[in-house]
């Protein structure tokens, strides 16, 4: 509160209530998802039939818990695999882009910078279909010309990784650039004066300084890949990542096992997100 400004206590109280209600609105869906993971019922809805761990550990139909649900566990594995590669690609390209935009001057740099940002303002589903149309076109032409079928260019995990990478790389670039901008170039020059080669100077001085941002960008990339739906939907083949598998199940009608997966996801993302936020704090300091 700005102390010098007179406040009507009644208005202020109403304002506080509003902010309180806002946080109830934010929390409500997540709370109900978590609570119904423990409901002793076939459906994630009221009435409350008492507490159970069945939706995590149940091993017989109709109560197959998360840890015995083969397809769901496999979907989690697929998501982790995809997110891992998206993370590696995004951090690598993001670091390279950061050096390019912060250190180099070249013609059309502004155009390149705006182009680098555009994936953030292209709807995800359009990124998905455009990559689908292109790769499929290439695969068809190769097949017509050489009668060779290139499986990796058909819908599947490789395309999912590329599709997600196409916009997550922008985020990684921004996060890593922000830290590189604050780097004192004098430190690198000192290393050069002391006889280090350019590459040695970057590797032993600049990259360690960038490490928190690279780890932070990696976590952000992993989370964004893990939760991506729109782009993935258009590029997915027979191996469904978790969000696609959950979507299919939700449309078929859900059991509380979906709540159990959601709860585990929430805990994992919250932990990773808090680490990422802590790293960004460190960066600002």
Partner 1 sequence: MARRLGFYLLLAPLVVWLGALLIIPHIDLFITSLQVKVRPRVYELGFANYAEFFTEPLYWNTFARTALMSIAATLLTLLVGFPVSYYIAKLARGPARAVLFVLCLLPFWVSELVRTFGWMILLRETGVVSSALQWLGLTSGPIEFLYNDAAIMVGLVYTSMLFMVVPLVTTLDSLDDSYIEAGYDLGGNGFAVMREIVIPHAMPGIVSGCIVVFMLSLGNYLTPILLGGKDSLWFTEQIYSQFITRFNWEQGSAFGFLLLILSSLIVWTGLKLTGQTLGATVGQGQANR
Q: Restricting to residues 230-269, which ones interact with partner 1 according to CB under 8 A?
A: 230, 233-234, 242-243, 246-247, 250-251, 254, 258-259, 262, 265-266, 269
- Name which of 118 and 200 has its Cβ closer to partner 1: 118
Contact 57, 260 (CB under 8 A): no
The footprint of partner 1 on this chain (CB under 8 A) covers a number of residues equal to 94
- Give the Cβ contact number of residue 139 at 10 Å: 17
Mark residues 182-221: x for contact with partner 1 by CB under 8 A, - for none. ----------------x---------------------x-
**Taking CB under 8 A as the rule, does residue 58 contact partner 1?**
no
Q: By CB under 8 A, name the one of 33, 157, 205, 221 that touches partner 1.
A: 33
* Contact window for partner 1 (CB under 8 A) among 58-66, 70-78, 146-154, 270-278: 270-278
CB burial of residue 136 (10 Å; 0-12, 13-18, 19+): middle
Task: Indicate the DSSP class of residue 120.
Answer: G
Nearest approach in angstroms of CB 122 to partner 1 is: 7
- What DSSP string describes 42-111? SSSSSSP--B-SHHHH-EETTEE-GGG-HHHHHHHHHHHHHHHHHHHHHHHHHHHHHHHHHH---TTHHH
Contact 229, 244 (CB under 8 A): yes
Nearest residue to 268 via CA among 278, 279, 260: 260
Nearest approach in angstroms of CB 144 to partner 1 is: 11
Please report, as residue ranges, which positions from 115 to 174 form the binding site for partner 1 (by CB under 8 A).
Answer: 115-127, 129-134, 136-137, 162-163, 165-166, 169-171, 174
Nearest approach in angstroms of CB 140 to partner 1 is: 11
**Taking CB under 8 A as the rule, does residue 225 contact partner 1?**
no
**Taking CB under 8 A as the rule, does residue 52 contact partner 1?**
no
Q: Is 39 helix (H, G, I), strand (E, B) or coil?
A: strand
**Taking CB under 8 A as the rule, does residue 19 contact partner 1?**
yes
Nearest residue to 90 via CA among 204, 216, 188: 216
């Amino acid at each position: 509160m700005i102390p010098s400004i007179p406040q009507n206590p009644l208005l202020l109280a109403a304002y506080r209530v509003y902010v309180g209600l806002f946080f109830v609105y934010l929390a409500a869906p997540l709370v109900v998802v978590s609570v119904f993971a423990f409901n002793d019922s076939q459906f994630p809805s009221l009435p409350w039939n008492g507490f159970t761990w069945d939706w995590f550990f149940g091993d017989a139909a109709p109560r197959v818990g998360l840890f015995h649900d083969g397809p769901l566990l496999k979907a989690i594995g697929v998501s982790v695999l995809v997110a891992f590669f998206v993370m590696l690609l995004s951090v690598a390209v993001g670091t390279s882009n950061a050096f390019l935009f912060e250190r180099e001057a070249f013609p059309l740099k502004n155009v390149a910078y705006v182009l680098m940002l555009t994936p953030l303002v292209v709807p995800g589903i359009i990124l998905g279909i455009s990559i689908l149309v292109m790769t499929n076109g290439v695969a068809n032409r190769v097949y017509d010309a050489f009668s060779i079928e290139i499986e990796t260019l058909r819908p599947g995990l490789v395309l999912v990784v590329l599709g997600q990478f196409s916009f997550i790389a922008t985020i990684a670039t921004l996060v890593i650039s922000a830290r590189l901008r604050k780097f004192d170039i004098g430190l690198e020059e000192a290393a050069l004066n002391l006889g280090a080669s350019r590459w040695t100077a970057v590797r032993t001085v600049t990259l360690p300084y960038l490490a928190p941002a690279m780890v932070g960008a990696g976590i952000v990339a992993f989370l964004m890949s893990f939760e991506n739906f729109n782009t993935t939907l258009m590029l997915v083949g027979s191996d469904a990542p978790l969000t696609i598998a959950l979507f299919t199940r939700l449309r078929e009608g859900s059991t509380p096992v979906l709540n159990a997966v959601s709860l585990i996801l929430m805990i994992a993302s919250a932990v990773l997100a808090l680490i990422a936020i802590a790293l960004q704090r460190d960066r600002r300091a």
